[in-house]
Amino acid sequence: MEQAWEDTFSLSQRGISSGVVEYLQKQAGLRIRQSIYTAQVVIWLMILQRLQPLGTLATGVEALLAGVADSLLSQCERARRKRISRRTGGYSQARERLPTLLCRQVLAELITRLREILNPSGGRRAYLLDGSSLELEASPALRKAFPPAQNQHGQAHWPILRIVAVHELETGLAEEPCWGAMYGNDAVSEQQLANQAMASLDPDSILVGDRNFGVFSIAWQARQRGLDVVIRLSEQRARKLAGGPISVEAERMVRWTPSRFDGRRQGGMPEGAVIEGRLIAVRIGGGQSKQWLYLFTTVAFPQAEVVTLYGKRWNIETDLRSLKRTVRLHHIAVRNESMMEKELFTAVAAYNLVRAVIALAARRHNFSPRQLSFTFALNGRNRPIPLKFSLGGRSRW
């Protein structure tokens, strides 16, 4: 077995052992099937598919035949007799039978366990917030639930899913994403999804977001959940908050109140809602390319630390690229919403396992996890992951 898969499998079993999956099944009142394709085996194969270049059903079955799940098949007589078929039908049906709720619970359990493994002492964490979109198969069911884009020339072909992700700043571990339709009558905004995504974060965490999330409703909802924020503001919003033009680099204490637009569109805010914090205005870049950066924050860090913290926001761009391209979520090739959700949950689980392997390797070699390339680590599975990495990772705006 390749060392990379051994490390990943070992971590997955520490986070989502057979006992955990069986417990979750019993809690949900689900019958535990005695077969080759138990829930634990199917979840692991779906994770493994996301870590392979092709990631087809056939590659999943071939991996099973190669022994990647031998320890999970110890109670199966057909497995002991080496009577596992190479056909993909059984695996495909098992994937369809797998409860979506179970995949969601397994992901939540895995995230909790990986947090404990990577940071056993706890402590305050910062999270990066961003949104993106994913392409789905053009089945009738998915086109109805997630309509394609439309313009004066007609409707596009592929259904589009809007997604908001929250990633831990230091390690890159992803929380459960939130999603909805990007177009159509039931379209949701990134701000609405961001509000849902905050629910998974521990109070006293720090949320870092770009201008798209630099609105009162995001800051308000974060504060209601006990979160601090470092969010970038547009120039217009910063000037309004400052009470006039900003011509010099400085920071000032401000009281942010919602506009009528904020109150009308977002709702849920009491009369007289206000957030107290600091408005930081600095110029970034060099030479003639310098530009203004406006940040609103509720953290008590010195100005330079706040600016440096926001500078690390660029990491989520590479995190989303890893999810969409390296773990192949850019196009989810399933025909119904249930399978789409299962693919999302197991893909994030796969991503998190690789992130955890990278973080542990970085710790052993005194690197920052952000210095090590996700793609290089995944593609380097034919040799021990900790031995060689691509270094880099400058903060970018």
In order, the DSSP letters of 250-283 are EEEEEEE---HHHHHHH----TT--EEEEEEEEE
Query: DSSP states of 196-244 as a string?
Result: HHGGGSPTT-EEEE-GGG-SHHHHHHHHHTT-EEEEE--HHHHHHHHTS
139-148, 186-195, 376-385: least confidently modelled range: 376-385
Question: Percent of the chain having pLDDT more than 70?
Answer: 90
Listed ranges 10-14, 302-306, 377-381, 387-391; the one with the highest mean pLDDT: 302-306
- What pLDDT is attached to residue 74? 62
Q: Are 170 and 370 in contact (CB under 8 A)?
A: yes
Question: Which tokens is 146 given?
Answer: 């997630």
Per-residue confidence (pLDDT) for residue 265, from 0 to 100: 52
* pLDDT for the residue 92: 96
Instruction: Select the more confidently predicted residue: 382 or 201.
Output: 201
Residue 264 in this model has a pLDDT that exceeds 60: no
Would you state the pLDDT for residue 62? Answer: 92
The per-residue pLDDT of the chain, averaged, comes to 86
Distance CA 170, CA 326 (A): 20
Say yes or no to pLDDT of 80 above 80: no
CA 69 – CA 73 distance, rounded (Å): 7
Residue 271: predicted pLDDT:
80
Architecture of the domain made up of 127-318:
Alpha-Beta Complex (3.90)
Q: What pLDDT was estimated at residue 219?
A: 96
Q: Which residue has the higher pLDDT, 157 or 288?
A: 157
3-class SS shares of the chain: helix, strand, coil, % to 5: 50, 15, 35
Q: What is the pLDDT of residues 298-349, one digit of tens each?
A: 999 999 999 999 999 989 888 998 889 889 899 999 999 999 999 999 999 9
The mean per-residue pLDDT over the stretch 72-78 comes to 74
Q: Answer with the residue of higher pLDDT: 8 or 291.
A: 291
3-class SS of residue 363:
helix
Determine the Cα–Cα distance for residues 96 and 91; give it in Å rounded to an integer.
9
Closest CA to 98 of 146, 145, 173, 38: 38
Q: What percent of the chain has pLDDT over 90?
A: 58
pLDDT at residue number 70? 82
pLDDT at residue 4 greater than cutoff 60 = no
Residue 2 has pLDDT above 90, yes or no: no
Backbone angles phi, psi at 274, to 5 degrees: -155, 150
Give residue-wise pLDDT tens across range 99-144: 999 999 999 999 999 998 888 887 899 999 999 999 999 999 999 9
